[in-house]
């Protein structure tokens, strides 16, 4: 692979992108010189581990969701700042950085969805369905990176940062509003009985939306590629 694939134009339309970018550009120059991009990538990974542990322990005590919130923040801090720090210091390693960043992202996302699925918030089967939808869009992003020289990081104005923020809000609501954890509705799917809560239905809707987004962009780009490569 040539270097061009690793210089794809990043397309960022996040609704909080402007504020987030200003925050990251303020933090990056103020980090100690001994802090490196690789260290921040590791911090992001450790954040995903902490978050998954917090979600798992929340079955014992709902207050462990605060640990999951801290893990989400830690994951955002490391994952968002590693590339920003490299750009601010002019130390980008486009091939190595691309490889490490996105390889670790895969592990982070698996930990995140499994953690949520092991918590009282969402049934593990629905969490895995959401993970499939997320990975389908991730694969689409890398296809665009290779064929179009573009890397769409958000869909519908929403991206990883909004997803983490939404999870933190859901965690806090789950802690302070007992009804959200107590309400369950029995559902039979393919002769399997499920007790689904409010966030199960929300996660199911999100999963369906991810699939709709994927097939929408798939058919749109298939038409585009058919024209340029008849």
Residue 68 reports pLDDT greater than 70: yes
CATH number for the domain spanning 82: value is 1.20.120.1760
Exposure string of 198-213, with b = 16+ CB inside 10 Å and e = fewer, is bbbeebbebbeebbeb
**What are the beta bridge partners of residue 189?**
192
Tokens for 143, please give them: 């296809």
Q: What is the pLDDT of residue 54?
A: 97
Mean pLDDT value of segment 177-186? 88
Q: Which domain, by its residues, includes 121?
A: 3-228
Contact residues for 188 (Cβ-Cβ < 8 A; gap 6+): 194
**What are the beta bridge partners of residue 9?**
150
Q: What is the pLDDT of residue 172?
A: 95
pLDDT tens digits, residue range 210-226? 999 999 989 998 998 89
Tally of domains in the chain? 1
CB-count burial class (<10 Å; 0-12, 13-18, 19+) for 112: buried
Q: What is the pLDDT of residue 2?
A: 41
Percent of the chain scoring above 70 in pLDDT: 96
> Nearest CA to 122 among 205, 64, 200, 204?
200
Q: What is the pLDDT of residue 7?
A: 60
pLDDT tens digits, residue range 49-63? 999 999 999 999 999
Beta-strand pair 150-152/9-11: parallel
Confidence of residue 3 (pLDDT cuts 50, 70, 90): very low
pLDDT tens digits, residue range 19-43? 888 999 999 999 999 999 999 999 9
Mean pLDDT value of segment 144-157? 78
CB 78 within 8 A of CB 46: yes
Tokens for 88, please give them: 């601010």
Q: What is the pLDDT of residue 119?
A: 93
Q: What is the pLDDT of residue 136?
A: 93
Tokens for 37, please give them: 């991009």
Q: What is the pLDDT of residue 4?
A: 41
Mean pLDDT value of segment 190-201? 88
Mean pLDDT value of segment 123-135? 93
Residue showing tokens 């008849």: 230
What is the rounded average pLDDT for all residues in the chain? 88
Q: What is the pLDDT of residue 28?
A: 92
């Amino acid at each position: 692979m040539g270097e061009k694939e690793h210089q794809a134009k990043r397309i960022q339309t996040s609704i909080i992108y402007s504020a987030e970018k200003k925050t990251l550009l303020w933090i990056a120059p103020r980090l100690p010189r001994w802090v490196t991009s690789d260290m921040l990538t590791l911090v992001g990974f450790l954040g995903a581990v902490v978050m998954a542990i917090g979600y798992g322990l929340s079955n014992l005590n709902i207050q462990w969701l605060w640990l999951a919130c801290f893990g989400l923040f830690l994951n955002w801090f490391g994952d968002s700042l590693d590339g920003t720090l490299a750009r601010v210091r002019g130390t980008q390693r486009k091939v190595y950085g691309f490889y490490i960043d996105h390889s670790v992202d895969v592990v982070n996302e698996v930990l995140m969805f499994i953690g949520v699925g092991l918590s009282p918030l969402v049934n593990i089967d629905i969490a895995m369905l959401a993970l499939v939808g997320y990975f389908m869009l991730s694969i689409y992003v890398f296809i665009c990176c290779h064929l179009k020289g573009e890397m769409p990081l958000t869909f519908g104005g929403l991206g990883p940062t909004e997803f983490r923020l939404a999870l933190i809000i859901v965690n806090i609501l789950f802690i302070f509003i007992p009804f959200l954890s107590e309400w369950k509705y029995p559902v039979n799917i393919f002769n399997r009985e499920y007790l689904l809560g409010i966030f199960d239905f929300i996660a199911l809707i999100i999963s369906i939306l991810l699939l709709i987004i994927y097939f929408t962009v798939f058919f749109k780009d298939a038409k585009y590629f058919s024209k340029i490569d008849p």
